[in-house]
Structure 1
Amino acid sequence: MKRIKTYSRIALAISGFLAAFTILSLAGCRKSSPGKRGTIYATLASNPNYSILVYAINQEGLKETLNRESKESFTLFAPDNQAFQAAGLNSPSDLSKLPDSVLKAVLLYHVLASQTLAAQIPQAANTPVPTLNGQVIYATRTPAGKVFINGIAVTKADISCTNGVIHEVASVLMPPTGNIVQTALGNPNLSLLVAAVLRASQGATNVAAVLSGAGPFTVFAPTNQAFINAGFPNAAAINAADPNTLTKILTYHVIPARVFSSDLVDQSTPATLNGETVRILLGKNAQVKGMGNTTPSNITATNIVSTNGVVHLIDQVLLP
């Protein structure tokens, strides 16, 4: 798959962890050279490419845990400085502006309570794995040996440490802050989508209740500009539309499965919640096309994790 943008939510962490975009590399994992390098903390601290991560660990009092020589072992998915900078966190001073509870939740979402080497990850898609913050991440290992966490590539695997292992990841992993509806409510760029969901729920199907259910679901979420381009410039225009018509369109944006960007297959036609199909196109940019659209929609941001699925932003409303 070509590189596509992945969505990072740190810059809006206080109001729901929603924010900037980052580039998702789908290259295979690079194995580190064998041999012990010291503790997880010491290994990170010895590499200037992890200086922002090290600062965050120190800030939240996790140094002792990750520097401890004991029978305990950990797995750390480590974003390097470039990953933090792509998320809008260019320096330690930017991290210090985040509430401690937010930063600690994000850090612990990168840590497993035992050592897991890349080859020990099941050769399957989206295996749930509990993290130290109490929430799960979804690990994928392909037949070719590529590893993804929440759809984000592991770019360097199996950095061996005396108290566990480090896997470098291409992006900061953001823990979910609610279900799909709550995630959309926390993103100002999805306010017209929220209005459409609420209006559709006044018809025969309570769309908000469906998208708040157990799932898992994948939502291709049109941004506000996408709705404006489709002739819905504001919430008043959406509220004037027929709820059942909106339901048919909105459920066409939902796949009843958890599909990260790493799961997308070129030219595939996954079934949507309304029973019809969309087409996935993976050329220079990742795209999704509604069968009633003359042109495909660009997938502009990916892998926004919710408690009941995943959201990808698109720049065009899909038509059945």
Structure 2
Amino acid sequence: MKIWKTLAVTGTLLLAAASLAACSSKSSSADKGSKDYTPKSLNIQFVPSSQADTIEAKAKPLEKLLKNELHIPVKVSVSTDYNSIVEAMDSKQVDVGFLPPDGYVVAHKQGAADVLLQAERFGIKQPGGKNTDKLVGSYRSMIVVKKGSDIKSYKDLKGKKIAVQDVTSSAGYIWPVAELLQKGVDIPKDDTLVTVKGHDQGVMSVLNGDTDAAFIFEDARNIVKKDVPDIMNKVVPIYFTKPIPNDTITVRTDMSQAFRKKLAAAFKKIVKSKEGHAIISSIYTHEGYVNTKDSNFDIVRKYDKIVNDDAK
């Protein structure tokens, strides 16, 4: 009798343990895909598109402005490249990333980030590269060469030395490479590529004769205008790509919807303030932020595929 009682108790305990294990497994699975993370402090990271050596100091004042809006400590830092931000967001070390469209697509595919906002910039009028007064949600990449160069069109680029950005940069790599591949020009295989930090450095490398051409965003020549007033005459465009979706502000995938709304409102408010606009405009030439959606970046996935297929 005692044996049967012992077996019955043991069986009950085993069933209870199995039930708890199942519940625990189910709970862990649910937690993994949950979106209820509300930061007690906020880590923001970005990669400078120009003036990499001074950009972190310029961005630091954002910490105070965001803290005033969110009422939590905020830390702003600069990463060496976009892949580092994606990895940091994936490991939950960074909450918010300023990512270009291609960087965002990579982060979203890995399940590291969701898009929160998309930047607006002033349109650019050519020739001359002057800003218009119209805010737009896209921009172009341009290929520039030194005036008087024997490179008159993209067809003349074979065998040349070209300044590019990181391979995840839409304007500094993906867009020009993809479009020229479709035109029969294989830049990665036929040219010597020199990776520089910042589109301003791409312009200067052409001006100084260190490279024959550069892939830059339109119109990055304006960044160096203060130091080289006649840069528009010395470095000239030979090609413009089709439009590229503007940069993104992305967030961790587990961030709560309530905090996302609060964060989006904070960025929109700050960029409209005198102090906030000066900071953000000096970092990325962003003039404003609007709500967006993932499907707006399908064109980026198309261009990525063109480049990746060629690399195989």
Normalising to structure 2: TM-score of the pair?
Answer: 0.23
Which one scores higher on RCO, CA 8 angstroms, separation ≥ 6? 2
Q: In terms of Rg, which structure is larger?
A: 2
More helix by share: 2
Normalising to structure 1: TM-score of the pair?
Answer: 0.23
